[in-house]
Structures are given as structure tokens and as C-alpha cells.
Amino acid sequence: MKQTMLLIGILILGSSCKQTNYQSNVTLNQQDSSKKNMIQKPLEKSELPQSDAEWKAKLSEEEYRVLRQKGTERPYIGEYDQLWDSGTYVCKGCGTELFNSGTKFDAGCGWPSFYEGIDKSRIKEIKDYSHGMFRIEVVCAHCGGHLGHVFDDGPKPTGLRYCINSVSLGFKKK
């Protein structure tokens, strides 16, 4: 009986820690200057990488893990969490303009948060049942890159909080 309870406890602990391990399993390499790229204009569909190998060549290890494998960066470490400059946030995968700095707010969650995207057609929302919970995943409608999730606990006027991984974004200063 004790062995069964111990096994159940280990399984529960393992599943509750799975997301934390998943998030920090890869060495953070956001400052990898050999692959760090600031996209100036959105890529045409024909210019987008087609294979995993092409995406891996284009993105840093951490960018690939988040954008292509639906990972999550650790909170409070992203370069855009506390950036308050005026400008436009773009998809790191393809350069599509996604969020204006005027819609950014400090949600205190450790990731850049926005109450509204530039245009609903640029962001696709997908039901996400991973990690034993229900959320709405947010992906770039142009390249399919994972950005983060959207929640209904944001400020007015929308009441939304787009909780976005910094590593999924680029920034064009105004």
C-alpha cells in the first residue's frame, strides 16, 4: 500500500513539475548573436522556412523551442517583459506586425502582456488542452509560430491579456 501511494505521489509530482522542467530543460541562449535576427519586413509565404532543418538554421535554439515546439520561456527573463519603448512587436519567425506598444501593460506575470493585437487576422487562436488545463494558444497566423496564450483577465477596453513569450517577438522601435 505504501509503495502504491509513493508511486502515485511520484506520478503526481512528476506531472505537476513537467511544465517547469519542460520550460527550463533547454539552456537559455537568447543572446546567441550568430542566429539573433531582427526582421525588418515580413517574409513572403514563399520565403518562410519549410522544414524543421530550415527553421533550426533560422532561429536560435530557444527561439526554435518556443516558436516551433510550443515551448515557454521562463518568466521575468525575456528582453521585452519590461521594455516600454514606443514601437511595434513583430513575430520573430516571419516579421508580421502583431502588437503595438500602446496596448502593452504590466500584468506582473513575467511575460510581455498586451490587451489587443494590431489586427485579429494576424493572430490565430487555438484551443489548448495541454498540461492538464484548458487555455487558448496564440500563434502567428502567417507562419504558425507559437507566441503564447490569451486570457480573459486583462484590462479595459478588451478585458484580454495576450501573454506572449519575449523570445517569440522582435521589436521595431518607433
Give the cell for residue 54. Answer: 530550415
Question: What positions carry a catalytic annotation?
Answer: 163
**What is the arrangement of strands in the sheet containing 123-128, beginning at the earlier edge strand?**
104-105, 113-114, 161-164, 146-151, 135-140, 123-128
Neighbour tally for 19: CB within 10 Å: 14
Cβ neighbourhood burial of 91 (10 Å; 0-12, 13-18, 19+):
buried
3-class SS of residue 171: strand
CB 60 within 8 A of CB 29: yes
